[in-house]
Chain A
Amino acid sequence: MRKIFVAVVLAGLVGAGLQARSAAEEESGCVACHTDAAKLKALYVPPKIQFKMEAGEG
């Protein structure tokens, strides 16, 4: 009885671990990075802007 109980608990823990890993793998790299404002701030390279007056339709 005790052995059965231990086996069930262990199986549950392994299953939960696999599920967590699977969930983390499901989220793409794009989403992981682009939903993280701090990460984007660290990686962001501002574009060069030439302030010309000709752009825009008006």
Chain B
Amino acid sequence: MYKGLVVAREALADDDHFSRGCPSCHKGDEKASDKDQAHRGLVKRPSDDPAVCGECHEEIAETYAKALHFTVAGLKNGVMGRFSASEKKRFQEAVFEPSCRKCHASCGDCHVKGPLLDNVTTGLIRGHAFVRKDESKTCAFCHGGRVHPEFTGSYGVIPDVHHKKGMTCMDCHKMEEMHGDGNAYATWKERKIRPSCASCHPPGEEKSDKAREAHAKHQGILTCSACHALSTYRNCRNCHLGKGSESEAGFILGRSPRNKDLVTTLRLIPAVRDTFAAVGIRMENYDALPNYWDTVPHCTCKLTERTGNCQMCHLVKMGFLKKSDLPEGGSKANEGLIYAPQPIKE
């Protein structure tokens, strides 16, 4: 693990960031001759405060301070709906700040050194060079439980078609999305800048009449992933503070919790009624939110069981959420997500 701290001399020579010396960001004492003295007052992660980078990158630092990757507000806002007012306060102090917020990404976590989770990190990305991106050492580390292994096929299923074509995270999730636009959004769904399949695959430019017809018929009813998510994806359940959760593969179709008129792929949320019992939070409004969120599994494929055969949905109803699938003791809001496609004549 010490190798993650080795700075490459080549990086120092070529980069203006080093012209002012290490203490300009890290403090400490560069003239000291022993480790303890040299590290007195050391700032290990200077870009935990975006204003440090903002001395030169003023505009980006200003927008990034409110971006979801930095605030991780989505993690909090996704569950807050289940809390009473007093529980919200307790959650902020006892859970969000000491635990969830560890996942926040500083500038350095993407551009200098891999993110730090529970004292584990991949180390300096390229010998302390300041890199524009390296998704396998940054995105993959925090998102390595679900979307990244889905995307690369690391779960033993077929990789996402975009990965097979040589695309990486940043080909869809652009720099502007990461850095933010200066607005403090509550969740990722509210962001104005986010990937859209239609930006590369606009309706009306399909290669086949069948595809064009299918898209036109389901416009505004289905999301792209409802048909084009190829395989099962990871669902986590039964999460308890300090103990973790369990996971299982699944494929779930149902109404989007955020827009009941839209049918989409759903992912089970791991929060159960006693998830935060260890810190005295009972989730008094647990039933206000369902146990599923709309999700975009990163296992896209042009042809799936559903694109080739309408009856997989309209007759077989494959993957559609049923009452018998709902978790025991789950939220009363779950039933509102159940959708049964109507039979059709082909």
Contacts and interface: CB of A to CB of B under 8 A. Distances in A.
Interface string A19-58: 0000000001111011101001101101111111111111
Nearest to B2: A44
Contact of A56 (B5, B31, B117, B239): B117
A54 B239 contact: yes
Interface string B224-247: 000000000010100101111100
A37 B2 CA distance: 8
A30 B7 CA distance: 10
Question: Chain B contact residues (Cβ within 8 angstroms of A): what range?
Answer: 35 or more
A56 B139 CA distance: 11
Chain A interface size range: 20 to 34
Nearest to B42: A30
A56 B142 CA distance: 5
Nearest to B103: A57
Contacts of A55: 102-103, 117-118
Nearest to A28: B30
Contacts of A30: 21-23, 26, 28, 30, 38
Nearest to B11: A35
Contact of A29 (B31, B99, B128): B31
B287 to A, nearest CB: 24
Contacts of A31: 7, 12, 22
B6 interface: yes
A53 B108 CA distance: 24
Most A Cβ at <10 Å: residue of B21, B38, B241: B38
Interface string B57-80: 000000000000000100100000
A52 B128 CA distance: 28
A31 B10 CA distance: 12
Contacts of B144: 56, 58
Contact of A28 (B21, B72, B143, B234): B21
B242 A52 contact: yes
B147 interface: yes
Contacts of A28: 21-23, 30-31
**Most B-side CB within 10 Å, residue of A41, A46, A57:** A57
Contact of A58 (B6, B72, B236): B236
Nearest to A48: B119
B120 A35 contact: no
A35 B6 contact: yes
Nearest to B245: A53
Contacts of A58: 143-147, 234, 236
B118 A52 contact: yes
A20 to B, nearest CB: 18
9 contacts: A29-B32, A29-B33, A30-B22, A33-B35, A40-B2, A40-B3, A54-B244, A57-B72, A58-B145
- Closest 4 A/B residue pairs (Cβ): A53-B244, A58-B145, A44-B2, A28-B30
Given A56-B145, A57-B72, 14 more contacts: A28-B23, A28-B30, A29-B29, A30-B38, A49-B120, A52-B118, A52-B242, A55-B103, A55-B118, A56-B144, A57-B75, A57-B145, A58-B147, A58-B236
